[in-house]
Amino acid sequence: MTEKDFLPTPYKVKKIEGKSLWQAPSNIALIKYWGKRENQIPANPSLSFTLDTCATTTVIEYRRLEKKGTDFDFELFFEGRPMESFRPKIETFFKRIEVYLPFLKEYHFNIETSNSFPHSSGIASSASGMAALALCLMDLERELNPEMEPDFFIKKASFLARLGSGSACRSVEGDLVLWGGTRDFPKSTDLYAIKYPFKVNEVFKNFQDTILLVHKGQKQVSSTVGHELMHGHPFAAQRFLQARNNLTLIKPILASGDLSAFVQLVESEALTLHAMMMTGNPYFMLMKPNTLEIIDKIWEFRRATKTQVCFTLDAGANVHVLYPEEGKDRVLQFIKNELVAYCENGQYICDQIGVGARKLIMKGE
């Protein structure tokens, strides 16, 4: 498929008003997206676990305007309160997707959104947020074009979400998701994410992700700036190659359930991501002393108990602790005994691999 396939043909139906409600999960990358080209095209393919508990719920109410507006017409509420600070991000998103959803200026939108995880927990809400919004807008497009195929609906939602935030395209489906065109993976594309197309061992089915909230404050650098710093980065080409190689390497690991190889690859990806930040110009460091304390403790625990548990990081100080369901009691005990002390206010979130976004039914429907 190409971008052109997402341009709509004239709509057959007129819709005056309506509502749509979606819940989209967050996701955590095993192979990281860090670096992009124009139009949100990733510099390398990435692979993620879709999460389950950490999610954004968005409801849009739309009403057709008498006359198409010159600007986008929307109101925004976050957790029940007007949220003007999100406006520029949504404006940019609407501008980028207008050519694919040409009705956007024909409606007034009321957008209400809320997260299952605490605001300012340092958990990126852009992935789940953009995915939920893209799905709501696709619901409206499906009303205008009722013949739309379910498969196209999902692809276009991921395509649109990508234009809002790259990693958001991986938050539409579950449970293991690939974004970025790569030769070894049929149907993979830079335009939207697909379900991981090969065999995945049972051990990964109910994988756990306990997110340790190390630092809940404002991040020093946004991921958008971080991606930009990969342009002209001295190690960029090598990094992009490494990510591609890791995708080839992870295939037999996922098929066989080789957890010790999994642990090595996933941790190396996390540390490489942060190494890129630390070796850029300007350089920056998003890990905190407690991030390192936790990593050290995980390594010690793994050595001492031979439990297959590992960490990954996103562009922040929080630590995602990944492990198979089978070790849940043991690992949670370890987290409570040894790691919680390094979390801000002792906070952590228990999550696990999930199935993807869900359309919710509204009261009274």
State in angstroms the smallest separation of the CB of 200 from ligand DP6.
19
Contacts of 203 (CB under 8 A, 6+ apart): 257, 259, 324, 326
Q: Tell me which of 6, 22, 33, 78 binds ligand DP6, using CB under 6 A.
A: 33
State in angstroms the smallest separation of the CB of 11 from ligand DP6.
29
Q: Does 315 bind ligand DP6 (CB under 6 A)?
A: yes
- Identify the bridge partners of residue 331 per DSSP, sorted by sequence position: none
Encoding tokens for residue 307?
């439990």
Q: Does 227 bind ligand DP6 (CB under 6 A)?
A: yes
Backbone φ and ψ of 359, nearest 5°: -85, 130
Q: Tell me which of 57, 126, 291, 318 binds ligand DP6, using CB under 6 A.
A: 126
Contacting range for ligand DP6; rule: CB under 6 A; set: 57-65, 222-230, 300-308, 349-357: 222-230
- Cβ proximity to ligand DP6: between 46 and 114 the closer is 46
Q: Tell me which of 24, 29, 236, 295 binds ligand DP6, using CB under 6 A.
A: 29
Query: Do residues 20 and 139 make contact, with C-beta atoms less than 8 angstroms apart?
Result: yes
Total of residues contacting ligand DP6 (CB under 6 A): 17
Backbone φ and ψ of 195, nearest 5°: -65, 140
Q: Looking only at residues 142 through 201 of this chain, which bind ligand DP6 when binding is defined by CB under 6 A?
A: 165-167
Query: Do residues 35 and 41 make contact, with C-beta atoms less than 8 angstroms apart?
Result: no
State in angstroms the smallest separation of the CB of 264 from ligand DP6.
19
Q: Does 32 bind ligand DP6 (CB under 6 A)?
A: yes
Contacting range for ligand DP6; rule: CB under 6 A; set: 33-41, 205-213, 283-291, 356-364: 33-41
Integer Cα distance of 284 and 183 in angstroms? 33
Q: Looking only at residues 271 through 300 of this chain, which bind ligand DP6 when binding is defined by CB under 6 A?
A: 273
Q: Does 223 bind ligand DP6 (CB under 6 A)?
A: yes
Encoding tokens for residue 275?
């190494």
Tell me the C-alpha to C-alpha distance, in Å, between residue 208 and each of 50, 110, 179, 324, 331: 11, 35, 22, 6, 10
Identity of residue 51? L
What would you measure as the largest C-alpha separation in the chain, in angstroms?
69
Encoding tokens for residue 294?
């936790």
Residue number closest to ligand DP6, CB atom: 166
Catalog residues that contact ligand DP6 under the rule CB under 6 A.
Answer: 29, 32-34, 40, 46, 124, 126, 165-167, 223-224, 227, 273, 314-315
